[in-house]
Amino acid sequence: MLEEILKILTVYLLTMVKFIAGPTLGYASGFSLFVTIAITVAGTMTSVLLFTFLGQLLREKVLKRIFRKRRVFTPRNRRFVKIWNKYGLIGVTCLTPIIFTPIGGTVLLTSFGSPKKKIISWMFVWAVVWAVIFSSAIYLFGPKILPGYSTP
């Protein structure tokens, strides 16, 4: 029982940082498809909620003290602006699980002043969509993708 809780907690915490960890590690841990999707969405949304509500505070209190002289026009910032202008809120939330990390996408959205309610709503929608797609693909093609693991 404790071992199972530790597996769930590990997958959950890693999914908070990198979305794809949920489907791959959920499969590798032997969880059912539904449990894997649930853990992936829960981990992603925990990051989204934390950085939506604490992102501004972290940026003001922590990052400004660590990085006192930050350049505004960096290649990375220009890339973020280009992505924002091209895709907007819905596009960025759609791309977050597959290109950005849950943290990166949320920070990008909050830095552009997107409404918190919309960030959370759209991130949830796309987290569910991508969790179902990635998890289903891994459970269908898992033995080919992750050799040595059989379908749970």
**The domain containing residue 135 runs over which residues?**
2-145
Inter-CA distances, 2 with 5, 6, 8, 13, Å:
5, 6, 10, 16
Does a structural domain hold residue 152? no
Does a structural domain hold residue 35? yes
Question: Which of 3-7, 43-47, 104-108 shows the lowest per-residue confidence on average (mean pLDDT)?
Answer: 104-108
Give the single-character DSSP code of 137: H
Does a structural domain hold residue 11? yes
- Half-sphere exposure of residue 108, counting CA atoms within 13 Å on the CB side? 28
Is the separation of the CB atoms in 24 and 39 below 8 Å?
no
State the pLDDT at residue 86: 86
The model's confidence at residue 25, banded by pLDDT at 50, 70 and 90, is very high
Does a structural domain hold residue 82? yes
Mean pLDDT in residue range 40-68: 80
Does a structural domain hold residue 29? yes
**Segment 81-129, tens digit of pLDDT:** 788 888 889 998 998 988 888 988 888 888 788 899 999 999 999 999 9
4 has a pLDDT exceeding 60: yes
26 has a pLDDT exceeding 90: yes
Question: What span, in angstroms and rounded, lies between the C-alpha atoms of 36 and 19?
Answer: 12
State the pLDDT at residue 87: 83
* Torsion sign (Cα): 77, 81, 87, 93: positive
150 has a pLDDT exceeding 60: no
Total tally of structural domains belonging to the chain: 1
Does a structural domain hold residue 126? yes
Mean pLDDT in residue range 66-90: 75
Give the single-character DSSP code of 98: T
Mean pLDDT in residue range 19-33: 93
Residue with more model confidence, 136 or 86: 136
